[in-house]
Amino acid sequence: MNTIFNRIKLRHLLYQGIWFQDLPKDVSVDGYRIDNVISYTDLVISIYFGIVVALLVYFIFQYRSSRGHKAEYDHGDKRKNVMVTAGLGFLVFFSVDAVIETMAFKDLREAFWNFPKGENVVRVEVMPQQFAWNFCYPGPDNEFGTEDDIIPTQNQMHVPVNTPIVIQLASWDVIHSFYLPNFRVKQDAVPGMITPLWFQAKETGVYDIACAELCGNSHYKMKGYLTVESEEDYQKWLNENSPQETDSDGWDDWEDDDSDDSGIPENWSWAWEKIK
């Protein structure tokens, strides 16, 4: 299996060399799983595409119009033709669809549906709106929907490194899609639903948060920033954004701004739903 994935990675490097485009750096513990599925799909489809193109070129020259050549008409419904077509169909199905589905469900069971539990888990509620990202962290009572909830500036999300991050998504208005390219996770935020996902960062840095769903005429504004930092810096950031600290500064990040046509929601967090 390792040999197969090493070949896939080699093909991935060749792909990057051809298109001069690097993939977003994977900084998550499970991002390699997504890359492996995509790389396998690209590899097999590229092989089949190459075979089809080679046969097409061969047929063009082999059966080109020439003097003395007589065309033969065939409906392609002979037993031999049907068997060959069915065989090729099964070959493509079992070498592409079946393998991809097996890999995908294995990854879902082992990682993406296997939500971490325990005290060493950071919980964050994410509520996108037109056109910004809102984040909420539990305060000292470790509960959401209470007065000590920590709601930082829009589009700014902070998490500690080497710690599982469990997120619950709920849209304020229309469908959005929470996308972290460097973590290989993407999840729709659907009005009326609360949807969970989780990831874990293995490197510090500042990474993009994107909306992968066209959500309106200012969709391009849906860019946020995920800062992965040490546990000490993360706790310091939480303290700086606590309600008490915000009040002491004499202003509130969530105060209505006349320049923001969409409005900033207030007291929007919800009671954390139990993840099965």
Report DSSP letters for 219-261, one per residue. Answer: GGG-EEEEEEE-HHHHHHHHHHTSHHHHHHTT--TTS--TT-T
Query: Which of 77, 112, 147 is where one domain is finished?
Result: 112
pLDDT at 265: 76
Q: Are residues 89 and 187 in the same domain?
A: no
Task: Provide φ and ψ at 166, rounded to 5°.
Answer: -105, 130
Residue 207 bridge partners (DSSP): 226
Q: What is the domain-level CATH number for residue 181?
A: 2.60.40.420
Residue 157 in 3-state DSSP? strand
pLDDT at 63: 81
Decide: 146 and 187 in contact? Cβ < 8 Å: no
Task: Provide φ and ψ at 261, rounded to 5°.
Answer: -70, -25
**90 in any annotated domain:** yes
Q: Are residues 43 and 151 in the same domain?
A: no
Task: Provide φ and ψ at 227, rounded to 5°.
Answer: -100, 120
The Cα 28–Cα 268 span in angstroms is: 29
How many domains does the chain contain in total? 2
Q: Are residues 7 and 30 in the same domain?
A: yes
Q: Are residues 182 and 226 in the same domain?
A: yes
pLDDT at 261: 43
Q: Are residues 129 and 82 in the same domain?
A: no
CA distances from 107 to 46, 255, 259 (A): 24, 43, 45
The Cα 10–Cα 14 span in angstroms is: 6
**161 in any annotated domain:** yes
Q: Are residues 146 and 243 in the same domain?
A: yes
b/e burial code for range 89-126 (CB count within 10 A of at least 16 → b): eeeeeeeeeeeeeeeeeebeeebbeeeeeeeeebbbbb
The Cα 176–Cα 260 span in angstroms is: 19
Residues of the chain with pLDDT under 70: 1-21, 244-263
**178 in any annotated domain:** yes
pLDDT at 256: 42
* Number of other residues whose CB lies within 10 A of the CB of residue 128: 26
Structural domain containing residue 221 = 122-248
pLDDT at 115: 93
